[in-house]
Every structure is written in structure tokens, then in C-alpha cells.
């Protein structure tokens, strides 16, 4: 599973850990952290936290973050960094013989991705709760796909996860952050909007779309 140190992935690790101890199904849970290569890395502290839970964190040190913020790539450094991170996660999964990659994306992430793709890529698509990749070689699962981010934040507060602050210089001004702020303004006008947007992604009327 991908572990970033953020509340979403920490919640996912906690849930999968508890689930593994209570169900009659055996599987191995391998947390992987792709370190983007910025200063003040918290990889060691994250590894200690995982060790306390009984897991060995696979830490992959990269220079993806600084390279993505090269002066020639200032328009969208997050795209390049995230693409390299996903690629490395699949490579590690293949190396370890893992067929399933678990990611901590929430309902909010799925909605935001829909708008990011429309606004900045000109197509309608988003992330799926369960998705086969590379001709079935891997399966990506997002167990928190139907969970509101607000519920994750409450759970994280109750669990008192150790704080791991995002050291990326673009964390507060990324395209995703822009979309999140915009959507929060829209949600504040009507509490039903978020649910309607989420449901609309499974109720597409293709006859009424441009072709």
C-alpha cells in the first residue's frame, strides 16, 4: 500500500491493519513510502511508526520533487511528481510480488480529480474504487473511495496519528488545492451538492454528451 504520512493513508493503514487481524483471509500488508527528495524528510519517523505497528516500511528515496520543480516545469510540477511516484509504486509492487496496490484516496479526491481532468486536461474521467491495470497484472483498490474526507479527519484525530507535515513547496498552491477550495465554496451553498456530484459519475447519460 502507498503510505504518504498524510491522514488519508494513515487511516487506510490503520483500517487494513485492524481488518487483517479480524477476518478469515490472509494477506501481506507492505507499506511503501516514496520520498520525493525534499529537505526535512520524515521518512525515518514514519518508518518508526510502522515498526511500532509491526510493519517494515519500504522507503524509496527519489529526487522526483526537486526535478518536478525545475524552473522549466513550473506550470504543473505536481503532475510530473505524482506520475513518477505511481510508476515507482507499481515497480515496487512487481518486485515484491504484490498483485494489489491499496491507495488512500477518499470521495473528495475522486470528485476533485473529475474537475482537475475537466479543467486542465479537457476530458471527463476520475479514479475508480477498484481498477484493473496493465492487462490485469495489478489491481488498484481505494477502500476509502466512498468516505468523506471530513470523516477521515475525525478518525485521524481520534487515533492521534503522529503529525507528518507535507514539505513540498507546492502543497498549498497545487491545482488540486485550487479545485478543493473552489468545491468547498460550492458545497457551502447547498449540502446536497457533493453527494449529487459523486452520484452523477455513475449516472452518465452518454446520449446527451458531445461526441
Count of CB atoms situated within 10 Å of the CB of 198: 18
Tens of pLDDT along the chain (211 residues) come to 999 999 999 999 999 999 988 888 888 999 999 999 999 999 999 999 999 999 999 999 999 888 888 877 666 788 888 889 999 999 999 999 999 999 999 999 999 999 999 999 999 999 999 999 999 999 999 999 999 999 999 999 999 899 998 888 887 778 899 999 999 999 999 999 999 999 999 999 999 999 7
| 187-208: pLDDT as tens digits | 999 999 999 999 999 999 999 9
**C-alpha atoms less than 13 angstroms from C-alpha of 73 in its C-beta half-sphere:** 14
Helix (H) or strand (E) holding 100: strand 100-102
- Ramachandran bin of 194, using left for φ above 0, alpha for ψ from -120 to 50, beta for the remaining angles: alpha
Domain ranges in the chain are: 7-202
Return the C-alpha cell found at 201: 459519475
DSSP symbol at 71: G
Whether residue 100 contacts residue 139, with contact meaning beta carbons closer than 8 Å, is answered with yes
Task: Provide CATH code, domain 7-202.
Answer: 3.40.50.620
Amino acid at each position: 500500500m502507498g503510505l504518504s504520512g498524510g491522514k488519508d493513508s494513515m487511516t487506510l493503514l490503520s483500517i487494513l491493519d485492524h481488518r487483517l487481524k479480524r477476518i478469515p483471509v490472509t494477506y501481506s500488508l507492505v507499506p511503501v513510502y516514496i520520498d520525493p527528495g525534499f529537505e526535512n524528510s520524515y521518512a525515518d519517523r514514519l518508518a518508526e511508526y510502522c515498526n511500532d505497528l509491526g510493519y517494515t516500511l519500504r522507503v524509496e528515496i527519489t529526487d522526483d520533487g526537486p526535478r518536478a520543480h525545475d524552473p522549466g516545469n513550473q506550470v504543473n510540477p505536481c503532475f510530473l511528481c505524482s506520475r513518477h511516484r505511481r510508476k515507482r509504486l507499481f515497480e515496487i509492487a512487481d518486485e515484491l510480488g504484490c498483485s494489489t496496490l491499496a491507495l488512500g484516496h477518499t470521495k473528495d479526491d475522486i470528485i476533485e480529480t473529475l474537475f482537475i481532468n475537466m479543467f486542465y486536461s479537457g476530458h471527463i474521467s476520475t479514479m475508480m474504487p477498484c481498477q484493473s491495470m496493465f492487462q490485469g497484472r495489478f489491481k488498484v483498490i481505494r477502500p476509502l473511495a466512498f468516505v468523506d474526507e471530513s470523516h477521515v479527519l475525525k478518525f485521524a484525530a481520534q487515533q492521534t496519528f503522529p503529525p507528518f507535515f507535507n514539505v513540498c513547496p507546492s502543497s498549498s498552491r497545487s491545482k488540486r488545492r485550487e479545485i478543493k477550495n473552489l468545491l468547498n465554496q460550492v458545497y457551502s451553498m447547498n449540502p446536497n451538492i457533493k453527494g449529487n456530484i459523486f452520484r452523477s459519475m455513475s449516472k452518465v447519460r452518454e446520449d446527451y454528451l458531445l461526441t
